[in-house]
Chain A
Amino acid sequence: MLPSLAVIALLLAVWWASVATTGSVIFPTPWEVVTGTGQLVRDGSLWLHIGSSLLRVATGFLLAVVIAVPLGLWLGWVRGAYITLNPLFQILRPISPIAWIPIAILWFGVGNASPVFLIFISSVFPMIVQTITGVHTIEKRYLRAAANFGVSRYRLFRQVVIPAVLPQIVVGMRIGLGVAWLVVVAAEMIALRSGLGFLIMDSRNAGNRYDLVIAGMIIIGLIGLLLDGCMRMLEGHRLVRWRYAH
């Protein structure tokens, strides 16, 4: 912890020194970023931007979870479905969500639906893939034991398949949420009137307020760290801890 703080402090010092020595009028000093942030906090717009971005991420991400997990379980379990649909997913998966922006605008306009759609697109594929991998890597001895005890299909899924795959689903969710957070900011740069991405573009366009640009960037980074931390806590949950406890 201490060394990482030292590196950040060093970086801030170098930043400050370079702005001071070059006498740049556009690039802000760290202190100007702090006062800029203070301004955003006081007029309340910071919370509005953060709230909008988080709401979009939450909507798109949860939508993706609801689709990806059952779909992934089905594709992982039913071989025919996997063979039929996997090539399609492998083609769609590497397309950057940014490439979908024009289509999102065409289909959903410039309201909230566009970024939600982009977040959905970006996080649904990693989660599908992880869930499928989860099903495919269930150790055969467990399926065999379930078959031996002759349990119903419902019980097989509830007590064997889903718990066995859950750790992989959580990994998929962590990846998915990370991508979602990357994408929301990018999506908000294109249009809209709120969100952290909007804050960055708007601050630049409305009078070269680079202090606010950098403030926005740092806040995005911190929230991303926080989100990832939450997903990490999920990995410590009772239901998936067995996977990591060896």
Chain B
Amino acid sequence: MRTKIEIENVSKSFSAGKASLKVIDGVDFQVGDGEFVAIVGPSGCGKSTLMNLVAGFIRPDSGSIRIDGVARNGPSARGILISQHGSVFPWLTVRENLEFGLNGRPETDKAGIADHYAGIVGLKGFEHSYPHELSGGMLKRAELARALAVKPDILYMDEPFSALDALMSLRIRNELLRILGEEKHTVMLITHDVEEAIHLADRVLVLGQRPTRIQAQFDVDLPHPRRLTSPEAQALRAAVLRELGVQE
């Protein structure tokens, strides 16, 4: 597998007044092309900071981040971030949102692409709705569709489903897997939900307490569709939780 994302000895501190708070302390890992990597860690450990670094929204103090061998230099449409709070523009309709990233294409093409992806995530018939007319789950689908529409190499997902109820979260996870089966993307997922990580990812990285670094990693060698109740999945879950300092 070709390497897509290469993180080498990355550190980041934030200054609050005179004090400097080290959040990330020498993180190293790689993500292969088309691989799905989940990163779990205790809350406040700097997961989101790590994501913002990789997605290019902030710069590391030291170390290097390379995408396809090229040093990261600001955000780009080749890697789209989907965050917990969502960023579907409330003043645009679903279709307008989906068309947003499609620069420099004829209008008819854009509408076609937008409607195609609205269909893929199950938002057919809602193209002309405004976000405030949608439920939380539909809003997430719209956000996912908007990201997919620009055909990004990488999806950065920062606790994307944590604001949804358990049932809706499970549903959307299944749909995400179905979509990823059709269109291959490299995915980096940040989550605090170990089960979600095991459900979705090829590999799970565990971050330690702040200042954080990679503490352990687990390969999830289970075929899809995965049964989270299987003994293997349960054993893996227990192992990851142990790493996080939780005994069952």
Whether A and B are associated in the same complex: the answer reads yes
The binding surface of chain B is classed by DSSP as loop
Contact B75 A159 (CB under 8 A): no
Q: Which chain B residue lies CB-closest to A143?
A: B87
Q: Taking the complex as formed, is A24 at the interface, i.e. its CB lies under 8 A from any CB of chain B?
A: no
Given A144-B87, A160-B89, check contact A245 B132 (CB 8 Å): yes
Q: Taking the complex as formed, is B83 at the interface, i.e. its CB lies under 8 A from any CB of chain A?
A: yes
Q: Taking the complex as formed, is A152 at the interface, i.e. its CB lies under 8 A from any CB of chain B?
A: yes
A209 to B143 alpha-carbon distance, docked (Å)? 66
Q: Taking the complex as formed, is A148 at the interface, i.e. its CB lies under 8 A from any CB of chain B?
A: yes
The binding surface of chain A is classed by DSSP as helix
Interface of chain B residues 69 through 96 with chain A (CB within 8 A): 74-77, 79-81, 83, 85-87, 89-92, 96
A97 to B161 alpha-carbon distance, docked (Å)? 53
A141 to B85 alpha-carbon distance, docked (Å)? 8
Contact B91 A163 (CB under 8 A): yes
Given A141-B87, A142-B87, A242-B132, check contact A148 B81 (CB 8 Å): yes
Contact B83 A148 (CB under 8 A): no
A164 to B75 alpha-carbon distance, docked (Å)? 22
Contacts of A152 in B (CB 8 A): 103
Contacts of B150 in A (CB 8 A): 149
Contacts of A242 in B (CB 8 A): 90-91, 130-132
Which of A141, A149, A151, A240 is most buried by chain B, counting CB atoms within 10 A of its CB?
A149
Contacts of B218 in A (CB 8 A): none
Shortest distance between the CB of B187 and any CB in chain A (Å): 16
Q: Taking the complex as formed, is B126 at the interface, i.e. its CB lies under 8 A from any CB of chain A?
A: no
What's the interface size class on A, roughly?
20 to 34
A142 to B88 alpha-carbon distance, docked (Å)? 8
A219 to B96 alpha-carbon distance, docked (Å)? 45
Mask: chain B, 142-182; 1 = CB below 8 Å from A; 0 = not: 00000000100000000000000000000000000000000
Contact B80 A148 (CB under 8 A): yes
Given A141-B86, A245-B132, A246-B132, check contact A148 B75 (CB 8 Å): yes
Shortest distance between the CB of B154 and any CB in chain A (Å): 11
Shortest distance between the CB of B184 and any CB in chain A (Å): 20
Instruction: Please list the residues of chain A having a beta carbon within 8 angstroms of any beta carbon in chain B.
Output: 141-142, 144-152, 155, 159-160, 163-164, 166, 239-243, 245-246
- 6 A–B contacts, CB within 8 A, in A order: A144-B81, A147-B74, A147-B75, A149-B150, A159-B92, A166-B91
Instruction: Please list the residues of chain B having a beta carbon within 8 angstroms of any beta carbon in chain A.
Output: 55, 57, 74-77, 79-81, 83, 85-87, 89-92, 96, 100-101, 103, 130-133, 150
Contacts A148-B79, A151-B103, A242-B131 known; 14 new A-B pairs at CB < 8 A: A142-B87, A144-B57, A144-B75, A145-B81, A148-B75, A148-B77, A149-B77, A149-B80, A149-B101, A149-B150, A150-B75, A150-B101, A152-B103, A160-B89
3 tightest A-B CB contacts, nearest first: A149-B101, A145-B87, A163-B91
